[in-house]
Amino acid sequence: MTRRAGFIDLVLGIVTVLTFLCLYAPLAAVSALSFFQLVRLRGVMSFAPFSLEPYARLWVNDDILSALATTCFIGVVATALALVLGVLFAFYFVTARRSLGLLMQGLIFLPFLLPPIITGLALLIFFRQLDITRGILTIVVGHVVFIVPIVYRTVLVRLQILGKSLTEASLDLGASRWQTLWLVILPQLRPALIAGGLLAFSMSFDETLITLFLAGSESTLPIRLWGMMRVGFVPEINALATLILVFAAGITLAVGFMQQRAGNRAL
Amino acid sequence: MSARPLLLKAAWHGLNLGLPLLFVLAPILSFVLISFWTLDNGHIVTQFTLGNYLAFLGDDSYLSVYGGTVLLSLEVTVVNTVLASFVALFIFRRAARVRFLLLMAFVLPLFMSYIIKIYSIRGILGQRGLLNEGLMAIGLTGQPIEALLFSRTAIFLTLAIVYLPYAILPIYLALDRIPPNYLAASADLGGRTRDELLHIVAPLAMPGIVVAGVFTFVLTFGDFVTPQMVGGTEGFTFGRIVFSQFGLALNWPLGSAFAVILLGTALAAVAIAGLFLRKEHVR
């Protein structure tokens, strides 16, 4: 057995390492270029010595910084709305008749399962028919529609683990429904809300394909980058990208470790 | 029973069913509706017609872009599902403590900026990009290879890299659900690793593999930014045609009809996967 297993693991290992390199090469390249800029010396490309200049230039690039601020604002608002709605929908699923719960769940999962281009243009046409002009509001709605499923899912899994006994005990002991909700259930949901909220924010922060349809004159960072990419990038983009990557890695790792500690399989 | 609880109940249902109906279903219905209308002198004529769909069916260039995009997405789907199966299986066969870290390493890129990844890959593949400069520096080629960027291959590579984590996660989760005693029983009964993989792990991982395939196909088929950024004029995919109708070409009814076709293709992929899974289940 060992010899055979050793061969299989060897093949799997080689594929895994190569895949890993392909996945991380683009990320590594961006980070490397933010510290060592490419320069052309007498027609030959070479790396400039280590410098933090792109980071300094990023700090004074108002165009990028304002897009960054808009993106964060939209992310925070969309995440807050998604948290409220995710909890509502999860409660609805565990309390309503099964068929109604499944209908609601099927609908809110749709934007997650369909290609983003469909969600984006559907909302674009919908807003146009309602005579709502594109702007921050339409972007927020688009993001909420896209990130609600992730919050809903994390909260629902947690609710189902909790079961009914806590609620019943609380009601038996004389707490009102609101007291049960605020003092018993919601504190138990906190890890799910934090994890779901962080994931939702990072998805909103990165959302591009839906936002492209819904952004008016106000645009988010990915849309601004997309626009800049067509004319060519400035070095500070590499610095910005590196910072975003570190930030996203931090969020994802934090959520991952939290979920693992809670023994909570949300995904 | 007073009217108040009844009213509250109605509001509760209205909120939880109404919001998804309003913001998910109504927008989808609205573009399906528009796809049956036409554009005349920049104004939308609200008269039912199949003209937009006939325009698609009657135009060879649309059909060939559609076919080419289906093929491209299928290629990425097959390659990524195979790669993801290998990676997921490798992770699954590690000790429990290592598994989580490895899984995180492969899921992490999922949350790392989509647009920056494309930009970086573009930088690597470009005519004056890292890859060409590197190849010339070690003397493998005298001239930069032009075909790297702005080609079908570039789109294929970029899509594969961007969407791979979406395939690894469901397959790993399926593997993770296999009860450990199945594998222990197999080993106790003298099963070899190969038998174990073929007869226990593979069938139980199948739902995850199918989900991975559907995810990859649907997402790559609908992507329009990647083909535009790394495909250049070579990479005219169906998603780009749809998007262009909402930008420069500005023909919403036609674009909506194309989007309905795109949606239908995605739903067909989901349905085929569903049938496949049901068959697996019965067996």
Q: What is the ipTM of this complex?
A: 0.89
Confidence of residue A263 (pLDDT cuts 50, 70, 90): low
Containing A97, the helix (H) or strand (E) segment is none
For A192-213, what is each residue's pLDDT tens digit?
999 899 999 999 999 999 999 9
**For B30, which of A27, A129, A229 is closest by C-beta distance?**
A129
Confidence of residue A169 (pLDDT cuts 50, 70, 90): confident
* pLDDT for position A63: 85
Give, in degrees to the nearest 5, the angle at Cα A200 between A198 and A205.
95
Cβ atoms A14, B78 nearer than 8 A: no
* pLDDT for position B263: 95
Please enumerate, as own/partner, the contacts of B31-35 that have beta carbons within 8 Å and a separation of 24 or more. B31/A121, B31/A122, B31/A125, B31/A126, B31/B256, B31/B259, B31/B260, B32/B256, B32/B260, B34/A125, B34/B252, B34/B253, B34/B256, B35/B253, B35/B256, B35/B257, B35/B259, B35/B260
Give the C-alpha separation, B181 to B207, whole Å.
Answer: 20
* A chain contacts of residue B160, beta-carbon cutoff 8 Å: 22
Tell me what the mean pLDDT of segment B6-29 comes to.
Answer: 93
* pLDDT for position A266: 44
Containing A39, the helix (H) or strand (E) segment is strand A38-41
DSSP-assigned beta bridge partners for residue A38 = A47
* pLDDT for position B134: 74
Would the pLDDT of A178 be above 50?
yes
* pLDDT for position A267: 44
CA distances from B154 to A139, B157, B160, B230, B235 (A): 30, 5, 10, 6, 9
Q: Which of A85, A204, A77 is nearest to A155 (CA)?
A: A85
Confidence of residue A176 (pLDDT cuts 50, 70, 90): confident
**For B113, which of A88, A121, A206 is closest by C-beta distance?**
A206
For residue A141 the two structure tokens come to 């709605």
Give the C-alpha separation, B119 to B113, whole Å.
Answer: 10
The torsion angle over the Cα atoms of residues B255, B260, B266 and B268, rounded to 10 degrees, is -150
Q: What is the mean pLDDT of chain B?
A: 88
Cβ atoms A140, A78 nearer than 8 A: yes
Query: Burial level of A152, CB count in 10 A (0-12/13-18/19+)?
Result: buried
**For A115, which of B90, B118, B221 is closest by C-beta distance?**
B221
Residue of A nearest to B238 (CA): A117
Tell me the DSSP string of chain B.
Answer: --HHHHHHHHHHHHHHHHHHIIIIIHHHHHHHHHTTSEEETTEEE-----HHHHHHHT-HHHHHHHHHHHHHHHHHHHHHHHHHHHHHHHHHTS-HHHHHHHHHHHHGGGGS-HHHHHHHHHHHHSTTSHHHHHHHHTTS-SS--GGGSSSHHHHHHHHHHHHHHHHHHHHHHHHHTS-HHHHHHHHHTT--HHHIIIIIIHHHHHHHHHHHHHHHHHHHHH--HHHHHHHTTT---HHHHHHHHHTTS--HHHHHHHHHHHHHHHHHHHHHHHHHHHHHHH-
Q: Which of B251 and A49 is assigned the larger pLDDT?
A: B251
Residue of A nearest to B255 (CA): A121
Cβ contact B30–A96 (<8 Å): no
Confidence of residue A41 (pLDDT cuts 50, 70, 90): low
For residue B261 the two structure tokens come to 């076709």
For residue B56 the two structure tokens come to 């698609």
Q: What is the mean pLDDT of chain A?
A: 88
**Alpha-carbon distance A167 to nearest alpha carbon in chain B (angstroms):** 19
Give the C-alpha separation, A91 to A151, whole Å.
Answer: 12
Would the pLDDT of A3 be above 60?
no
Confidence of residue A151 (pLDDT cuts 50, 70, 90): very high
Residue of B nearest to A207 (CA): B114
* pLDDT for position A207: 94
Give the C-alpha separation, B192 to B175, whole Å.
Answer: 18
Residues 6+ apart with CB under 8 A from A52: A35
**Alpha-carbon distance A60 to nearest alpha carbon in chain B (angstroms):** 20
Would the pLDDT of A46 be above 60?
yes
Would the pLDDT of A125 be above 90?
yes
Q: Does A181 touch chain B (CB under 8 A)?
A: no
* pLDDT for position B3: 67
- Residues of chain B with pLDDT > 70, as a percent, come to 96
**For A104, which of B17, B116, B121 is closest by C-beta distance?**
B17
For residue A41 the two structure tokens come to 């010396």
* pLDDT for position B128: 67
Would the pLDDT of A183 be above 60?
yes
CA distances from A36 to A24, A42, A235, B118, B133 (A): 18, 18, 10, 20, 15
Dihedral sign, Cα of residue B121, residue B122, residue B123, residue B129:
positive
Tell me what the mean pLDDT of segment A101-124 comes to.
Answer: 94
Tell me what the mean pLDDT of segment A214-234 comes to.
Answer: 83
Would the pLDDT of B207 be above 60?
yes
* pLDDT for position B124: 86
* A chain contacts of residue B156, beta-carbon cutoff 8 Å: none
Cβ contact A30–B120 (<8 Å): yes
Would the pLDDT of B133 be above 80?
no
Q: Which of B146 and B268 is assigned the larger pLDDT?
A: B268
Q: Does A267 touch chain B (CB under 8 A)?
A: yes
Q: Which of A258 and A91 is assigned the larger pLDDT?
A: A91
What is the greatest pairwise CA distance in chain A?
A: 83
Give the C-alpha separation, B111 to B109, whole Å.
Answer: 5
Cβ atoms A148, A203 nearer than 8 A: no
Tell me what the mean pLDDT of segment A53-63 comes to.
Answer: 86
Dihedral sign, Cα of residue A178, residue A182, residue A188, residue A192:
positive
Confidence of residue A44 (pLDDT cuts 50, 70, 90): low
DSSP-assigned beta bridge partners for residue B44 = B39
* pLDDT for position B281: 60
Cβ contact A92–B23 (<8 Å): no
* pLDDT for position A233: 66
- Number of C-alpha atoms within 13 angstroms, CB side, residue B219? 25
For B18-55, what is each residue's pLDDT tens digit?
999 999 999 999 999 999 998 887 788 888 989 999 99
Would the pLDDT of B282 be above 60?
no
Tell me what the mean pLDDT of segment A99-118 comes to.
Answer: 94
The torsion angle over the Cα atoms of residues A8, A14, A15 and A18, rounded to 10 degrees, is 170
Residue of A nearest to B130 (CA): A29
Residues across chain B: 283
- Residues of chain B with pLDDT > 90, as a percent, come to 53
